Structure 1
Amino acid sequence: MDLSIIIVNYRTYDLTKQTINSVINKNHSFEYDIYVVDSASQDGSLEKLQNDFSQAIESGLIKFLASAENKGFAYANNLALKEVSSRYVLLLNSDTVVLDNCLEDCMDYMQDNPQIGALGCKVTLPDGTLDKACRRSFPDVSVSFYRLIGLSRLFPHSERFGKYNLCYLDEDGIYEIDCLVGAFMMVKSEAIKQIGLLDETFFMYGEDIDWCYRINKAGWQIMYYGPARIIHYKGSSSQKKKSKLIFEFYRAMYIFYNKHYKKNHSVITTGMTYLGIGLICSLKLILNLFKR
């Protein structure tokens, strides 16, 4: 098998069906299969998807895995990663649409450049604007500080202050970056065998950055491939639990810092980092309550 595509479903029947169709309704030049992992949706979406794609299940094109409980994005993807045996793996969000020859172009580029461990395409929102999370720098202390205090928003095209989302780079270009977004991440299986599965300490944010960090440290390149594109209906699957999402976003910052940066910084820097994360998280949660 050339490519295994992993899609996590959590109460997103319509979106997941749309994502699957955006893949299987195209004629691909490579062999692939799809793993759909249901994170204990308990809303009937798993059963409806299995019924909709019964023929694809019979042919072996689509395999469904059901988790007994929702333990997060990393955990769900790992269930499938333990089953795949393909040369490449694609993590694909259930709220995306794959366009044109996106998969072929990404596969061809990775095969032509064997030093690439992970590759991401251009991810756009429904209005056509770039989903800025699709190309990022590692959130070290300075990069995170500029983001937390808002300088990255005030000066997005500054190579110093806008480094987090790399807004000063051509969104249609091809270049090496630090990390991709888990909505579309094509990874070489050889790299996965070397660095291991996703870290399940992260619930639904940060696991993609952590994976890229480990892939990069293992000596593999991480590439942004702008000519290929998907649409990301970002947030469509999680609007009802926004406070939970805010908490998990900043919790992921804390986990990532502890895992990769804490040992290289003083107690004072670590304390200031914890304080900054805690204050911003608290402020965001309070503002969210007023909005609701």
Structure 2
Amino acid sequence: MQSHVRGRPPAEVAVVIVAFNSGAWLDRAITRVLESTIPVSVIVSDNGSTDGSITRVRDCWGEDDRVRIIAHGRNLGFATAVNRAIEQSDEPTVLLLNPDCEVQPETIERVLDSLRGDVRAGMAGPRVCNPDGSEQAGCRRLDPTPQRALEWAFDRPLRWLGRIPQGFNLANHPLPPGPVSVEAISGAFMLVEREAIRRVGPMDEGYFLHGEDLDWCRRFRDAGYHVLFVPDAIATHAKGTSSRGRPVRTEWHKHRGMVRYYRKFSGSALPDRLALAAASTLVWAHFLLVLPRLLVARFRVPSRAAPPAE
């Protein structure tokens, strides 16, 4: 199934973009990907978009053999849409890219070189930045274990006791001089070896939205693979553009995914079970705390930011 025509080298990377009412961001993401310094193909796995974005993709790239659309007709969730696209590709590596994430021409090649340069690596990601150039939280991070979640919740009391909680995000740490193994990378850009996917398995479709990226990182590491953070490769992520119109639903799935993650990877010893119960309660308490703000946002006219002008 590789995109290949006479005179054009076969694609080295299948870029999977899960779309759901992604607007002009989707056009821009595809444009940037096709400017990459290595041959790539693009699979848009569409979860029932109704905003005309898929029509625009067909109009712009309908004759380009590098771009394909898989239309599901309804919202299957992120993990399921990813898995369906991976099943319909055969490139040696797969890149999961959010539709509001832009790459530079050399980004994919640099991350791919780092992935291939570490014989134990199964997954790699770049330095994902906010539009202002700052490193995005979650770009490189630790496992959000129940114990760490409790430390985060009780950050201030712990600091009063002279203990500094480690937290999850490493974005405020100095950048390493080169690629390093981390516990988890951003789901906005995940470059994965197909052979590693065969061994680890597809994304867990029990997650609908959020949590599946952390789950996959954990399973890759449990299988003995390195998850690499590549600091000299840059991607810019606008974050959340497809979910702004459904803030309550999005946050509910985010919190549900976190609880699923805790339950899936927590130990069976009594301290682990107690931490799991406490952290799960904390997650849902947090959801109830932010619910009023989400409801207000839900009944406002959605503000769907457009990409910056060229």
TM-score of the aligned structures, taking structure 2 as reference length: 0.85
Q: Structure 1, residues 264-288: CA drift from partner, whole Å, max 9, x if none?
A: 4454333322221121111111343
Aligned counterpart in structure 1 of residue 262 of structure 2, from 257, 261, 277: 257
Q: Distance in 1 between matches of 2:295 and 2:23?
A: 28
CA distance 1:222–1:239, shift in 2 (3 Å): same
Give the Å deviation of 1:32.
Answer: 2.2
Mean Cα deviation higher: 272-281 or 79-88: 272-281
Which residue does the alignment assign to 2:23?
A: 13
**2:137 equivalent to 1:132:** yes
Q: Distance in 1 between matches of 2:274 and 2:194?
A: 40
CA distance 1:66–1:202, shift in 2 (3 Å): same
**2:74 equivalent to 1:69:** yes
Which residue does the alignment assign to 1:23?
A: 33
Q: Distance in 2 between matches of 1:159 and 1:35?
A: 47
SS where residue 133 of structure 1 aligns?
A: coil
Which residue does the alignment assign to 1:45?
A: 53
SS where residue 63 of structure 2 aligns?
A: helix
Q: Distance in 1 between matches of 2:167 and 2:183?
A: 11
Q: Distance in 1 between matches of 2:258 and 2:122?
A: 24
Mean Cα deviation higher: 262-271 or 234-243: 262-271
Q: Partner amino acid for 2:117? A: D
Partners of 1:162 and 1:168 within 8 A in 2: no
Give the Å deviation of 1:148.
Answer: 3.3
Give the Å deviation of 1:263.
Answer: 3.0
Q: Distance in 2 between matches of 1:129 and 1:239?
A: 22
Partners of 2:34 and 2:40 within 8 A in 1: no
Aligned counterpart in structure 1 of residue 286 of structure 2, from 274, 280, 283: 280
Q: Partner amino acid for 1:190? A: E
Quick one: percent identity of the two aligned structures? 26
**2:273 equivalent to 1:270:** no
Partners of 1:148 and 1:280 within 8 A in 2: no
**2:43 equivalent to 1:35:** yes
**2:232 equivalent to 1:222:** no
CA distance 1:194–1:48, shift in 2 (3 Å): same
Which residue does the alignment assign to 2:307?
A: none
Higher helix share: 1
Q: Distance in 1 between matches of 2:74 and 2:35?
A: 31
SS where residue 37 of structure 1 aligns?
A: strand
SS where residue 134 of structure 2 aligns?
A: coil
CA distance 1:52–1:148, shift in 2 (3 Å): farther
Partners of 1:13 and 1:49 within 8 A in 2: no
Residue segments in structure 1 that go unaligned for 5+ positions in a row:
none
Q: Distance in 1 between matches of 2:250 and 2:188?
A: 16
Q: Distance in 2 between matches of 1:272 and 1:146?
A: 11
CA distance 1:190–1:160, shift in 2 (3 Å): farther
Q: Distance in 1 between matches of 2:230 and 2:46?
A: 29
Q: Structure 1, residues 217-252: CA drift from partner, whole Å, max 9, x if none?
A: 000001110100011011222211111122111111
Partners of 1:122 and 1:171 within 8 A in 2: no
Mean Cα deviation higher: 261-270 or 195-204: 261-270
SS where residue 41 of structure 2 aligns?
A: strand
